[in-house]
Amino acid sequence: MAEIGTGTVGKALDVLDLIAAQGHPVRFAELQRLSPLPKATLYRLVQTLVINGMVTQDEESGAYALGMRLVRLAHAAWRQASLAPVARPFLDTLSQESGLTVHLAQMDYGHVLYVDRRDAQDPNAMFTDAGKVAPAYCTGVGKAMLAYLEPEELDQVLGMQSFHRFTPTTLASETVLRQSLDRIRERGFAIDREEYQTGVTCAAVPILSAEGRVLGAVSISGAGSGTETRTLEAWVPRLRICAEDIAMEASHWAFPAEQSAGNV
């Protein structure tokens, strides 16, 4: 997780990540403890980030937290780079038809990044989830995507996994995982039987482009704890249609051509 950071910009972004990782406002001393950078350099970098609005500094405590400019940027990122806006209507109907929770995820540096979530039962699910990351090897969406990666890509991504055993059912080694991926390819969908969080079971299928590239994955999971694997599996054909719909729609949106109207 601790990359090197090329050039000034790379270092600055590493510092950003560092602040983000703490989950609470950080004082300079703490940053210094966590960062390999020399004091003065770190100091200047943080100041630069503050000046540029990526980080805010609390007036009295002097502690640093991420700035709102990020939220604004991310909104744009989510709209222009993720499948979410395209997928939204399909997720909606699926969650309504099935009464299940639907997640949309994409691959991000070897991890699963959730970009959207629809929940028929609980309308309150929302932003909280978009942006969350989880390991690829022990989530339904993660395995669904891994199973359809190009061999070289897969090798690369597997190299990034740390294989921690979260629950008794977690697939905690590359060998076991690879077998599991073969199975997924045969059946066309992945099941997560409480491999990451106890009580959470889900079924997931990949979203593949016409050329077979992995765009993302969708999963369904029961609201309550007692959702049967069978129930989920019964919905898989419908889930697969959803994934295909999304892929189809995404291909149309692939390159929205040139046009530079400047509406904000």
Partner DNA sequence: ACTGAAGTTTCATTATGCGAAACTCAGTTT
Partner DNA sequence: AAACTGAGTTTCGCATAATGAAACTTCAGT
Residues at the interface with DNA (CB under 7 A): 7-9, 11, 27-29, 32, 37-41, 43-45, 62
Q: How far is the CB of 10 from its own copies (least distance, A)?
A: 5
C-beta of 59 vs 122, nearer to DNA? 59
Query: Which of its own copies, DNA, none binds 39 (CB below 5-8 Å, type-dependent)?
Result: DNA
Q: How far apart are CA 182 and CA 7, in angstroms?
A: 41
Q: Which helix (H) or strand (E) holds 107?
A: strand 101-108
Binding window for its own copies (CB under 8 A); candidates: 112-120, 137-145, 173-181, 191-199:
112-120
**DSSP code string of 95-126:** HHHH-SEEEEEEEETTEEEEEEEEESS-TT--
154-193: contacts with its own copies (CB under 8 A): none
Q: How far apart are CA 105 and CA 103, in angstroms?
A: 6
Query: Which of DNA, its own copies, none binds 226 (CB below 5-8 Å, type-dependent)?
Result: none
Residue 208 binds its own copies, judged by CB under 8 A: no
* Chosen residue from 67, 110, 142, 206 binding its own copies by CB under 8 A: 67
Across the chain, which distance is largest between two alpha carbons, in Å?
A: 59
- 230: Cβ contacts below 8 Å, ≥ 6 apart: none
The closest of 29, 23, 37 to 15, measured between CA atoms, is 37
C-beta of 7 vs 151, nearer to DNA? 7
Query: Which of DNA, its own copies, none binds 78 (CB below 5-8 Å, type-dependent)?
Result: its own copies
The closest of 223, 168, 177, 184 to 201, measured between CA atoms, is 223
Residue 239 binds its own copies, judged by CB under 8 A: no
